[in-house]
Amino acid sequence: MNASRPAPVRSIASQRPRRPRRRPSSKARVDRVAVWETGLKLAVDVTISLGAVAALVRLVPSHLTSRVELQKLEAEVEATEQRVEILQAEFGRYFDPQQTKALMQEESQLVDPHQRRVIWTEPKTEQSNR
């Protein structure tokens, strides 16, 4: 059962004497690995950098919009604080029992019966008499 196999037929081109392949030295292999590793690291770093730049491009306009809104809110807060200061100053005046009469007079246009009303008039000139 041990049949011998026929010898493979070789073409003329394959009958040339073979040159022994030069195996790359271990230093050449290490250099290739270092080149691939450096290239891969560079590709990853470029990808991460592009992602960061894309994120910044999206964030800058929203940041500027937020700053404008913040400035508007700060202006409103300042105006409200001034109004609150005025109202706090008036608050003490409205609850002062000694100023009750003066406040009632200011708000209702009523005059104390013991007080005379003064009405200012302009003096008549000679031209208005003619």
Tens of pLDDT, residue by residue over 52-64, are 999 999 999 999 9
Question: 40 lies in which domain range?
Answer: 27-112
| Number of compact structural domains in the chain | 1
Report the distance separating Cα 114 and Cα 105, nearest Å. Answer: 13
Handedness of CA 64, 69, 71, 72 (dihedral sign): positive
Q: Is residue 5 part of a domain?
A: no
Q: Is residue 10 part of a domain?
A: no
Q: Is the pLDDT assigned to residue 83 strictly greater than 90?
A: yes
Report the distance separating Cα 130 and Cα 128, nearest Å. Answer: 6
Q: Is residue 128 part of a domain?
A: no
Q: Is residue 14 part of a domain?
A: no
Q: Is residue 81 part of a domain?
A: yes
Q: What is the mean pLDDT of residues 108-128?
A: 77
In degrees, to the nearest 5, what angle opens at C-alpha 29 toward C-alphas 25 and 31? Answer: 115
Q: Is the pLDDT assigned to residue 78 strictly greater than 90?
A: yes
